[in-house]
Amino acid sequence: MHALDITIIVLYLLLMLAVGWVVAKLAAKNPESYFLAGKSLPWWMIGVAHGSSGIDISGTMWFVMVLFVYGVKGVWLLWVWPLFNVVFRMVYLGAWVRRSNVLTGAEWMYTRFGRTRGSELAYLSIVVYAIVSVVGFLSMAYIGIGKFTASFLPIETLGLSAASLPGNMTPADVFAMIIMLVGGLYCVMGGMYSVVLNDVIQFFLIVIAAVIIGGIAMHATASQDILSAVPEGWDRMFFGWRLDLDWSTRAIPQLNDKLHNPVAAGGDGYSIFGLFILMIFFKGVLVSMAGPTPNYAIQHILSTRNPREAALENLMMAVASLAPRFLLIAGIGTLGIVFFGPELQAMGAGGKIDFEQILPSVVNRYLPIGAKGLILAALLAAFMSTFDSTVNSGAAYVVNDIYKRYINPRASARRYVLLSYVCSTAIIVLGIAFGFATKSVHSITEVLVSVIVPAFVIPNVIKWHWWRFNGYGFFAGMVAGTLSALVLLFVGKPEWMAALGLAPIRLHPVYVVFPIIMVLSTIASVGVCLLTRPEEDAVLMRFYRTVRPWGFWRPIYEKCRAEDPTIQPNRDFWRDWFNIAVGLVWEMSMVALPIFLVLQQARKTWICGIVFVATSVILKFTWYDKLEPAERPAPGLEKTPDLAPGPAAP
């Protein structure tokens, strides 16, 4: 690396530390200031930070691989996460969450279930889930940043050698540990203030990087260069029942094994592409309806000033995270396709293609001096933005939902903040430890997608929409979902089954694993709920008036109406789902537009632009103009028992 590139990166790191030091005093006032920035920041700033938090190096590596292998059809694979759950939060769920006025997702359990033994179990299940998922995402970040940095800097830069490292430690481990510990300094000092302000800075760096690398890709390649290196149909967004891509006619025939082989044979198992997309769409809708997961997603929503701003924050999050990210991904993927083919072919001849090397190799080899430093600073910023948000959310659960709730509820604000420093540090160390033990981004992704996310879905969908659901049912659904996911993951691991003298059973995570988890979690949730008493009417009525959901709430609506005849039901069900459908098309156009732009396909770029403008106009009239006024209060359940009229089922 040139001295100019290193200087740019060092200046970025110093700027981050300076921001953390400046806002440390603001964050140290009390837990709400530390974890939610005192709910004082404007929605656009939180939205930009939220979007920046969603752009990480590990995920970007994965998306570059998807674009490389599957072409433009790969945009549909984003439903695996799903990336489009932001539309559900933008349309209605963000406002529902914000009306609770709590500090964490676990504390929200009291808003829904009151304070009973069942609600305590629900509360604890969310705390455990949140901490495990936070450590999982940090482990994924550890692996990504380590591989990324080691691709640019030799270990000798630190005065070490690979041979001198202890045990099975690699240079990637050394760099990952250093960056996570240094990045943890400003995260620990500034709390949510540091998270948001740094993420805003990081967003502008990411935009600059995306424009630079997209421009370089368009200058260095031509449309015919790209299409000559990929199979026919690679540049088509839409698809039939089967995935009609044939890499055997191009430079990397080994990719056909990945595309068409079943999971048991080491492939992705996506050859029946139409069925696979239907399955992940169904899964994505369920995951999205469950609401934000108890990590930085819900912390950003709870940091807004009122429900209206919670909805607008998610709008800004979608804009900030999609267009810049996929301009960056398209630029890197295009350069990789045109120039990196021989290296991948050599890897394939050796038996294994490491797609995680595409991003760092392209940046390292094909960008000029100065631009490389900016790109590296931006990608490092992408890591930092996800890292600091994740750490902050994890520490919030430990301090607010364990220490304050069960150990010392009357401690001073200063003690809570000091403990927040300790917990943030401990979570970083745990993320490093688990990341060190797992050397593959794909392995961590498999656990997150196949175990952690599915376990969350069913009880969290039901809690919004069915009045009869109680804390016991929520807890049973979380436990059943987690245990079934772990068992299914276990039976698919050759090394684990070999220890028992058994052959592994490789199950496709979407076709088989997810439906099984959903069925078992639903049976446990509904069964245990019906075998136990419903929550108290007073709790349900307060929740109903405060959050104002639509769904199967008629018995509670009628009881509320008996007390207050002015209460009207929530009649937004059909409008919300219309806006979700329009919003999904709106988001897909934002993803596809920068890809077609970099591929230099003008007609498709214009079509995506027209679709984006048209859907934006529709959402202006059917969603934005219907948002509740900003002045409406969003009190907590315990603070204000009776609130404005609440809705009933549609």
pLDDT band at 582 (very low <50, low <70, confident <90, very high): very high
- Could you identify the residue written with the tokens 């481990």? 173
Residues 6 or more apart from 3 whose CB is under 8 A from it? none
Q: Determine the average pLDDT of the residues in 494-509.
A: 65
Separation of CA 609 from chain center: 26
Q: Determine the average pLDDT of the residues in 449-461.
A: 76
Say yes or no to pLDDT of 646 above 50.
Answer: no
pLDDT of residue 640: 33
Do residues 49 and 37 touch, judged by C-beta distance below 8 A?
no
pLDDT of residue 642: 32
Is the pLDDT higher at 53 or at 26?
A: 53
Separation of CA 362 from chain center: 25
Which tokens is 278 given?
């239907």
CB atoms within 10 A of CB 585: 15
| Distances, alpha carbon 454 to alpha carbons 197, 286, 620, in Å | 32, 9, 33
pLDDT of residue 636: 37
Using CA atoms, how far apart are residues 533 and 335, in angstroms rounded to an integer?
60
Using CA atoms, how far apart are residues 425 and 387, in angstroms rounded to an integer?
12
Using CA atoms, how far apart are residues 390 and 370, in angstroms rounded to an integer?
30
Say yes or no to pLDDT of 650 above 50.
Answer: no
pLDDT of residue 648: 37
Say yes or no to pLDDT of 14 above 70.
Answer: yes
Which numeric CATH code is attached to 3-626?
A: 1.20.1730.10
Helix (H) or strand (E) holding 436: helix 413-437
Using CA atoms, how far apart are residues 170 and 151, in angstroms rounded to an integer?
12
pLDDT band at 634 (very low <50, low <70, confident <90, very high): very low
Say yes or no to pLDDT of 418 above 90.
Answer: no
* CA–CA–CA angle 238, 243, 247 (5° rounding): 110
Using CA atoms, how far apart are residues 115 and 264, in angstroms rounded to an integer?
47
pLDDT of residue 29: 58
DSSP three-state, residue 552:
strand
Q: Please tell me which of 244-248, 444-448, 547-551 the model is most confident about, judged by mean pLDDT.
A: 547-551
pLDDT of residue 299: 73
pLDDT of residue 499: 66
Q: Determine the average pLDDT of the residues in 282-304.
A: 80
pLDDT of residue 351: 56
Is the pLDDT higher at 349 or at 52?
A: 52
Convert the pLDDT of each residue in 84-141 to its tens digit. 888 999 999 989 988 877 767 677 788 889 888 888 888 888 888 777 777 777 777 7
Do residues 274 and 241 touch, judged by C-beta distance below 8 A?
yes
150 φ/ψ angles, rounded to the nearest 5 degrees: -65, -20
Q: Give me the long-range contacts of 153-160 (CB less than 8 A, separation at least 24).
A: 153/1
Convert the pLDDT of each residue in 189-238 to its tens digit. 656 666 677 777 778 888 888 898 889 889 888 988 888 888 888 898 98
pLDDT band at 601 (very low <50, low <70, confident <90, very high): very high
Say yes or no to pLDDT of 417 above 80.
Answer: no
Indicate left, alpha or beta for 647 from its phi (over 0: left) and psi (-120 to 50: alpha): beta
Say what the alpha-carbon torsion angle 140, 142, 143, 148 is, to the nearest 10 degrees.
Answer: 120
442 φ/ψ angles, rounded to the nearest 5 degrees: -65, -40
Q: Please tell me which of 50-59, 384-393, 558-567 the model is most confident about, judged by mean pLDDT.
A: 558-567
pLDDT of residue 8: 84
pLDDT of residue 251: 63
Do residues 434 and 136 touch, judged by C-beta distance below 8 A?
yes
Average pLDDT, the chain: 79
pLDDT of residue 644: 32
Do residues 271 and 243 touch, judged by C-beta distance below 8 A?
yes
pLDDT of residue 34: 54
Residues 6 or more apart from 516 whose CB is under 8 A from it? 484, 488
pLDDT of residue 122: 87
Q: Determine the average pLDDT of the residues in 634-639.
A: 38
Do residues 77 and 66 touch, judged by C-beta distance below 8 A?
yes
DSSP three-state, residue 466:
strand
pLDDT of residue 168: 77
Which tokens is 146 given?
């380590």
Q: Give me the long-range contacts of 483-490 (CB less than 8 A, separation at least 24).
A: 484/516, 484/517, 484/520, 484/521, 485/450, 485/451, 485/452, 485/454, 485/455, 485/513, 485/517, 486/451, 488/450, 488/512, 488/513, 488/516, 488/517, 489/446, 489/447, 489/450, 489/451, 489/513
pLDDT of residue 40: 64
pLDDT band at 263 (very low <50, low <70, confident <90, very high): low
pLDDT of residue 24: 59
pLDDT of residue 541: 93
Say yes or no to pLDDT of 525 above 90.
Answer: yes
pLDDT of residue 533: 93
Say yes or no to pLDDT of 187 above 80.
Answer: no
Q: HSE of 177 in the Cβ direction (CA atoms, 13 Å)?
A: 14
pLDDT of residue 189: 64
Using CA atoms, how far apart are residues 351 and 367, in angstroms rounded to an integer?
29
What's the chain's length in residues?
650
Say yes or no to pLDDT of 502 above 70.
Answer: no
Classify residue 439 by burial, with Cβ atoms within 10 Å: 0-12, 13-18, 19+: middle
Using CA atoms, how far apart are residues 292 and 289, in angstroms rounded to an integer?
9
Q: Determine the average pLDDT of the residues in 496-520.
A: 72
Could you tell me what percent of the chain has a pLDDT over 70? Answer: 79
Convert the pLDDT of each residue in 233-257 to its tens digit. 889 898 888 888 887 776 677 777 7
Convert the pLDDT of each residue in 37-96 to its tens digit. 556 678 888 888 777 766 777 677 778 888 888 889 989 988 877 778 889 999 999 899
607 φ/ψ angles, rounded to the nearest 5 degrees: -60, -45
552 φ/ψ angles, rounded to the nearest 5 degrees: -90, 75
Q: Determine the average pLDDT of the residues in 28-34.
A: 55
pLDDT band at 623 (very low <50, low <70, confident <90, very high): very high
pLDDT band at 493 (very low <50, low <70, confident <90, very high): low
Using CA atoms, how far apart are residues 85 and 473, in angstroms rounded to an integer?
24
DSSP structure string for 471-537: HHHHHHHHHHHHHHHHHHHHHT-HHHHHHTT-------IIIIIHHHHHHHHHHHHHHHHHHSPPPPH
Is the pLDDT higher at 267 or at 180?
A: 180
DSSP structure string for 215-233: HHHHHH--HHHHHHTS-TT
What is the sign, positive or negative, of the torsion defined by CA atoms of 332, 198, 384, 316?
negative
CB atoms within 10 A of CB 421: 17
55 φ/ψ angles, rounded to the nearest 5 degrees: -100, 105
